[in-house]
Chains A and B, each alone.
Chain A
Amino acid sequence: MKKKDLILILVLVLISVAGLAAAGFLQKDEGAAVVVTVDRQEYGRYPLSEDRTIEVSDEAGRNVIVIKNGQVDVTEADCPDKICVDHAIIRYDHETIVCLPHKLVVEIVGGDTSDVDVTTR
């Protein structure tokens, strides 16, 4: 083993460590997101980690979606059945809350997987 061999190996190790760190950093930035879809069109995409209140209102109706502590809930709606409001909070990957009268779908993408429920695709 010569000196240049060692330098080559060292440089390669450094490149890959830097690459792994960069990849980890980039992927962390994305994180889990809450996707709101109205009538099959994506209405908005919000990070699950940030608390916020989203009001979706159009001619079909009005819904208020609350993201808090990594959980999503529909708190208000002017639909007749209020199934979306009564729906339990969601927090895991692929979980959804649907408001059929308003054609509204709230889904979590890229989140943690639930220990209990599994979604098959």
Chain B
Amino acid sequence: MTKKLTVSALLVALAMILSYLETLIPFNFGLPGVKLGLANLVVVCALYLLDTRSAFLISMVRILLIAFTFGSLAALLYSLAGGLISFAVMALLRRNEGFSVIGVSVAGGVTHNIGQLLAAVLIVENLNLFFYVPVLIIAGLITGLLIGIISKYVIPPVKKAVRQM
């Protein structure tokens, strides 16, 4: 129990640092609303290091902390929408043996963008925003792929370290 709490706390701290890093070095793709989402790396790893419940808590806590520290109320709404949908999809695919970390991360990246867009559509009440869906799918695909590839190499050694703790 203490070990799980410690690992969770470390992961939340890591997510915050990664988000802070991202504000320092903006990975600008030239598209509004599109960013690398380094903090998602932590959530993907948490899904493989801990149980689903802990991973969910980590995701929610990091969203709240990051929004209150670096963002605004609007940013909180968008990240919550994206975070909840992408977590649900990633947790589901995680249980399916046919998908590797990369597939899980790609699905998470794409659904995170879709969730944010849905929130935006509800807030500004403009259905024309749906024209942006293809762009967001491609963007989520690329960022998800990057996060997935990093996760693939990060998870095994971290898992080993956690076991030895």
Contact = CB atoms under 8 A, between A and B. Distances in A.
Contacts, number: 49
Interface string A1-32: 11111001100110111111001001000000
Decide if the interface of chain B is mainly helix, strand, loop or mixed: helix
B103 A5 contact: yes
B134 A8 contact: no
Residue with the greatest number of chain A CB neighbours at <10 A, chosen from B100, B103, B134, B138: B134
Contacts of B133: 16, 19
A2 B98 contact: yes
Nearest to A19: B134
A1 B137 contact: no
Interface in B127-150: 131, 133-135, 137-138, 141, 145
Contacts of A26: 131
Closest 10 CB pairs of A and B: A19-B134, A5-B103, A4-B98, A16-B134, A16-B137, A20-B134, A2-B100, A23-B131, A16-B138, A4-B99
Interface of B: 96, 98-100, 102-103, 106-107, 110, 131, 133-135, 137-138, 141, 145
